[in-house]
Structure 1
Amino acid sequence: MARGRLTGIEMLPEACAPIVAWAAGELQNRERSQTEIYKDFVSKLEGLAQEYRGELEFTIPSFTAFNRYSIKLATLTQRLNDTREIAATLADKFDAKASDDLTLIAAEAIKTLIFELLTNAGEAGIDAKGAMSLANALRSATQAQGASTARRQKVEKEFGEKVTEAVQAVAKAKGMSAETSDAILGQILGVQK
């Protein structure tokens, strides 16, 4: 993949990274104008250059380069915020069981795709690199299945503990027998005590 030339900000030496990070934070805060931030950015870079007494050479990026950086940063920030909103919305709609089901479906789809590609390897033209990529995808899907199952088991265990505590507290307060509370737990958790 071809990459364009480096921007003025990307060409700054590593010693300037804290100043660039400061400018990025100021731009994201949106409390000051870009022009004001740029003036302080230039002042900080000039101060750094003086601090190094000519041992650190760099060109201070132009306002145009700073503006392009600002736009790129704003675009990236907006994409990240959009992604967070989408993830939050989806997380609210899916419980642990639905997430496990989705993980299982995705893993099975990857397994099916690998099987079909390997079966038609001559037609598909799969090479060693492609086979390695498919193996990595399958390994990742399998690990996700394991993590998803472990998470579901943890949630179920925590739910069972909370329900048991609640039923025991109610049984004690209402004077129910141990057999009655065990029967209630059996109905809720689907197990016989």
Structure 2
Amino acid sequence: MRGRLNGIELLPEECGPIIAQAAAALQSREKTQTEIYQEFYASLEELKREHRGELDFAIPSFSAFNRYSIKLATMSGRINQTREIAGVLAEKFDAKASDDLTLIAAEAIKTLIFELLTNAGEAGLDPKGAMALANALRAASQAQGVSTARRQKVEEEFKARATEAVETIARSKGMTAETTDAILGQILGVQK
């Protein structure tokens, strides 16, 4: 069950650039919320004047704008927190462990989807939102496959370079084939 639309969601499509400008101003934190609302209100009034009565809408109250601001700040905070976590995890994982990072991201997306579905009435999840979540999950799953392929390619390239380097050194030092194979086995973790 979807909740009631707020004043900003009820604005017509023509107000989109004004809403986007207000959202960007809220994110930049260079002005107070009151200053941003005053500019928002003035821009909407100007838009009404430009359309000379052909575009009729109610300008949202400051309290509706405040609720929108809080919702935007909460969402931005969660996105920034997720980016920070992913950044920290990415620093700790090398190419070989990228599968783990992709798996963590996929699980995070699954958790987010579950959370949104369990709070659907509160969050207002609509079919378009559900489709976006499904696409995100599919993309994460595909990324996991790409990550596996990339890891395998990196491992093969490493094996080829290590084998070539060890064989070159072995020839120049006059090592036996058994010694060369033993060194490669230690480096690559496999018997050649």
Displacement of 1:177 in angstroms is 7.5
Displacement of 1:92 in angstroms is 1.8
Q: For residue 69 of structure 2, what is the aligned residue in structure 1? A: 70
Structure 1 length normalisation: TM-score?
0.61
Distance 1:14 1:153, change over 3 A: same
Displacement of 1:89 in angstroms is 1.4
SS in 1 for 2:30: coil
Q: For residue 29 of structure 2, what is the aligned residue in structure 1? A: 30
Structure 2 length normalisation: TM-score?
0.61
Aligned residue pairs total 150
For 1:97-118, what per-residue CA distance to the aligned partner results, in whole angstroms no more than 9, with x for missing partners? 2333675xx9xxxxxxxxxxxx
Larger Rg: 1
Displacement of 1:143 in angstroms is 4.7
Displacement of 1:74 in angstroms is 0.7
Distance 1:43 1:160, change over 3 A: farther
Q: For residue 4 of structure 1, what is the aligned residue in structure 2? A: 3
SS in 2 for 1:40: helix
Structure 1, unmatched stretches of 5+, are 107-138, 168-175
Query: Residues 15 and 44 of structure 2 are in contact (CA less than 8 Å); yes or no, is this contact kept in structure 1?
Result: yes
Q: For residue 123 of structure 1, what is the aligned residue in structure 2? A: none
Q: For residue 152 of structure 1, what is the aligned residue in structure 2? A: 151
Q: For residue 95 of structure 1, what is the aligned residue in structure 2? A: 94
For 1:132-172, what per-residue CA distance to the aligned partner results, in whole angstroms no more than 9, with x for missing partners? xxxxxxx98975553222121343466578889xx7xxxxx
Q: How is 1:36-185 mapped onto 2 (pairs within 5 angstroms)?
A: 36-100=35-99, 103=103, 143=142, 146-156=145-155, 179-180=171-172
Q: For residue 120 of structure 1, what is the aligned residue in structure 2? A: none
Displacement of 1:179 in angstroms is 3.7
Distance 1:72 1:177, change over 3 A: closer
How much identity, in percent, do the aligned residues show? 65
RMSD across aligned positions (CA): 3.9
Q: For residue 127 of structure 2, what is the aligned residue in structure 1? A: none
Displacement of 1:40 in angstroms is 0.6
Work out the CA distance in 2 between the residues paired with 1:140 and 1:25. Answer: 27
Distance 1:43 1:85, change over 3 A: same
For 1:32-67, what per-residue CA distance to the aligned partner results, in whole angstroms no more than 9, with x for missing partners? 001111111011111111111111111110111011
Work out the CA distance in 2 between the residues paired with 1:35 and 1:142. Answer: 43
More relative contact order, 1 or 2 (CA 8 Å, 6+ apart): 2
Displacement of 1:77 in angstroms is 0.7
State the one-letter code of the partner of 1:7. N
